């Protein structure tokens, strides 16, 4: 173990996934500095200078701890929240301050010559479902037939051409509160009459053919290491989208076919990512079908259920002992 520098963990105040990584790094006696961009500018106070080719040097101080920016060996970029500003700051000034904080403090961190998991710019790009679906298909993975449209007639024609069930999926996670109740939008099987609904014209919608499934797989890639687990749904809701009913799920460790593993590595290379949480459907005939990749997806629930050592692999990467 080297003590040559700290691992900077950038995430929100409540993040059980980051907690797993921090606990393992602490066990390894690797220095860790946890921060959230929401703390800026009240904390941390950042001061950095550039003088010559050696890069930025300076500190970020929280009031309790001081981080030497030049010593950062790697960054675990999880789920930071936007900078927080005093409520009395006028809205126009708040917008300017937020943009300056993002490009100034955020840009300073992004300019550190450290190993990132994942690089924030590439992760943001990779969250685009149209991009990742195109890349996955180009890398040899089977992808469901897909339509993006805001035209109800086009959606109806797509369903007729598919000749079977159609699934609607949101482009981004949709969660909120309605009438005091937490709600979320998941993948949904559509009825034929849904596909001509006028509400489709209000924004972009993503429709895919329904792929018959024996089970699904969450495959977590960390560098060149792959960790795959079958997800068997125990309820009707979970068989459409397993996130609807975690309590009904059963997990089993599995190995991806060689062609799928090669495709996963190619996708990560094309997207410039060292990490990805991939979701696949496995058909009754055993074919693996790509659904999506999350460049910063959760993995703790799979590790807890199966014992797959994903946290250790992430810490190996951050510590610099693996590629």
Q: 82-132 pLDDT, tens per residue?
A: 888 888 889 899 899 989 988 998 899 999 989 999 998 999 999 999 999
C-beta separation of 166 from 159 below 8 A: yes
Cα–Cα distance between 293 and 205 in angstroms, integer? 19
**pTM of the predicted protein model:** 0.90
The CA dihedral of 38, 40, 45, 48, to the nearest 10 degrees, is 110
Q: Using one digit for the tens of pLDDT, what is the confidence trace for 9-19?
A: 999 988 999 99
Residue 264: pLDDT band with limits 50, 70, 90: very high
Q: Using one digit for the tens of pLDDT, what is the confidence trace for 213-241?
A: 999 999 999 999 999 999 998 888 888 88
Least confident of 26-30, 182-186, 192-196, 289-293: 182-186
pLDDT averaged over every residue in the chain = 90
Start-to-end C-alpha separation, the chain: 16
Cα–Cα distance between 120 and 123 in angstroms, integer? 5
Q: What is the CA radius of gyration of the chain?
A: 22
Residue 291: pLDDT band with limits 50, 70, 90: very high
* pLDDT at residue 180, rounded to an integer: 67
* pLDDT at residue 174, rounded to an integer: 67
The ranges of the chain annotated as CATH 3.30.1490 are 145-209
Residue 281 CB contacts under 8 Å (≥ 6 apart), including other chains? 211, 213, 216, 217, 288, 289, 291
The ranges of the chain annotated as CATH 3.40.50 are 7-117
* pLDDT at residue 82, rounded to an integer: 83
* pLDDT at residue 210, rounded to an integer: 93
Cα–Cα distance between 291 and 237 in angstroms, integer? 17
* pLDDT at residue 173, rounded to an integer: 73
Pick the CATH number of 145-209 from 3.30.1490, 1.10.10, 1.10.3470, 2.40.360: 3.30.1490
Residue 1: pLDDT band with limits 50, 70, 90: very low
Higher pLDDT pick, 215 / 172: 215
Whose CA is closest to 167, among 195, 207, 220? 207
If you average pLDDT over each of 54-68, 185-199, 214-228, which comes out highest?
Answer: 214-228
- 124-129+212-308 has which CATH code? 3.30.470.20
* pLDDT at residue 2, rounded to an integer: 37
- Quick one: fold of 7-117? Rossmann fold (3.40.50)
* pLDDT at residue 282, rounded to an integer: 97
The ranges of the chain annotated as CATH 3.30.470.20 are 124-129+212-308
Higher pLDDT pick, 236 / 23: 23
* pLDDT at residue 285, rounded to an integer: 97
């Amino acid at each position: 173990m080297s003590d040559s520098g700290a691992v900077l963990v950038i995430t929100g105040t409540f993040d059980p996934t980051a907690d797993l990584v921090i606990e393992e790094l602490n066990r390894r006696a690797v220095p860790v500095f946890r921060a959230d961009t929401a703390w800026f500018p009240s904390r941390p106070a950042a001061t950095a200078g550039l003088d010559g080719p050696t890069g930025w040097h300076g500190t970020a101080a929280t009031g309790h701890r001081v981080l030497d920016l030049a010593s950062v060996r790697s960054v675990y970029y999880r789920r930071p929240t936007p900078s927080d500003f005093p409520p009395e700051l006028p809205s126009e000034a708040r917008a300017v301050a937020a943009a300056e904080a993002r490009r100034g403090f955020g840009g300073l961190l992004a300019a550190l010559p450290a190993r990132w998991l994942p690089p924030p710019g590439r992760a943001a790009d990779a969250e685009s479902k149209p991009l990742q679906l195109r890349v996955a298909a180009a890398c040899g993975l089977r992808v469901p037939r897909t339509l993006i449209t805001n035209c109800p007639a086009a959606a109806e024609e797509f369903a007729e051409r598919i000749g079977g069930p159609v699934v609607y999926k949101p482009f981004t996670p949709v969660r909120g509160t309605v009438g005091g109740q937490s709600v979320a939008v998941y993948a949904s099987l559509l009825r034929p009459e849904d596909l001509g609904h006028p509400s489709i014209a209000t924004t972009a919608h993503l429709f895919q053919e329904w792929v018959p499934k024996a089970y699904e797989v969450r495959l977590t890639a960390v560098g060149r290491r792959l960790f795959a687990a079958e997800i068997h749904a125990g309820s009707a809701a979970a068989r459409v989208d397993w996130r609807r009913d975690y309590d009904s799920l059963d997990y089993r460790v599995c190995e991806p076919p060689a062609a799928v593993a090669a495709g996963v590595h190619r996708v990560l290379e094309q997207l410039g990512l060292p990490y990805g949480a991939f979701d696949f459907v496995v058909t009754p005939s055993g074919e693996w079908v790509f659904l999506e990749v999350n460049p910063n997806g959760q993995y703790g629930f799979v590790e807890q259920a199966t014992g797959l050592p994903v946290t250790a692999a992430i810490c190996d990467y951050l510590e610099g002992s693996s590629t």
